[in-house]
Amino acid sequence: MNINKKRFLKVITASTLTLSLGLGTVLGAAPEEQAQAKAKTTNIEKTSTITTVSSSKAVKISGKYKTKAALNMRKGASTKYKRVMTLKKGAVVSATYKKTVNSKKWYKVKYKGKSGWVSASYVKKYKKTKKVSSAVAGSKVISVGKQYLGVPYVWGGMSPSGFDCSGFTAYVYKKAGYGTLPHSSRTQYSVTKRVSKPDVGDLIFFGATPGSGSITHVGIYAGNNLVLHAAGNKVQIQSVAKGSYWAPRIIGYGSL
């Protein structure tokens, strides 16, 4: 009986102590304990605030972007929004705003009168690449070709020790870095693109006689009605202007 009473008192005492500690935390905790509890609460609130901020405000931008693949343009900055249209790969769009949603960047863009949001992961900054103009490329060809002015004409020649007409054009084009041409004026005509008016650096094809349709000679157009070619006894520049020896012998022009 005395043993049971002692056990009963121990249980009561332990329960009372547990209850006191619990109430103390809520109501009567020591100042330093309250401060720690407050700090924990504040940290939780801060964490909650960070996780709930999933998107940023749209920032105004400008610039053009090119799609890297077929891409959906949407009404909002998320895949949950409806599709406005599907852009083809390579489409160039104008960006007006950017926004980050759930750590992913989106652009608001315009394309053919329509606007919407696209994922930044599937577009890249578009820079209008200027095709190397024929004038720039041609100038390089002429610059290389002029280095061999005065080199003797040699039938079948393809080197600075001697050139024939097609050997000269093939050598100069290769040296300038603009392709490999076959060693034949007729074959060079067949592998080049026909143009109605030559740019500097294009090829000019000639016949042996005025009005001839059979190609027997080729040179490089140097601009200002001039041709740079291996003709006569050397590499030289001559006129192809109206009234010149070569003008009535022109059959056509070819461009690479």
What is the secondary structure of 107-162 as a DSSP string? EEEEETTEEEEEEGGGEEE---PPP--HHHHHHHHHHHHHTTTTPBB-TT-EETTE
- Cα separation of 51 and 248, whole Å? 81
User: How much is the mean pLDDT over the chain?
Assistant: 82
Q: What is the mean pLDDT of residues 212-237?
A: 96
Task: Provide the percentage of residues in the chain whose pLDDT is more than 70.
Answer: 75
Residues 206-218: b if buried by 16+ CB within 10 A, e if exposed:
bbeeeeeeebebb
Q: Which of 52-61, 182-191, 221-230, 237-246 has the lowest mean pLDDT?
A: 52-61
* Tokens 């109501």 sit on residue: 27
Q: What is the mean pLDDT of residues 109-135?
A: 81
Catalytic residues: 165, 217, 229
Band the pLDDT of 36: cuts 50, 70, 90.
Answer: very low
In order of 77, 105, 117, the CA distances from 53 in angstroms are 15, 15, 20
- Cα separation of 158 and 217, whole Å? 15
- Cα separation of 248 and 256, whole Å? 24
The per-residue pLDDT for 54 is 54
Structure tokens that stand for 148 in this block: 């061999």
Give the residue, 51 or 34, on which the prediction is more confident.
34
Q: What is the mean pLDDT of residues 5-29?
A: 44
The per-residue pLDDT for 244 is 97
- Cα separation of 235 and 160, whole Å? 10
* Tokens 């592998």 sit on residue: 191
The per-residue pLDDT for 55 is 64
The per-residue pLDDT for 139 is 87
- pTM, whole model, 2 decimals? 0.50
Q: Which of 23-27, 82-86, 124-128 has the lowest mean pLDDT?
A: 23-27
Phi, psi at residue 157, to the nearest 5°? Answer: -75, 140
Band the pLDDT of 27: cuts 50, 70, 90.
Answer: very low
Q: What is the maximum alpha-carbon separation in the chain?
A: 141
pLDDT value at 50 more than 50 = no
In order of 32, 104, 225, the CA distances from 41 in angstroms are 14, 30, 86
Structure tokens that stand for 77 in this block: 């900055």
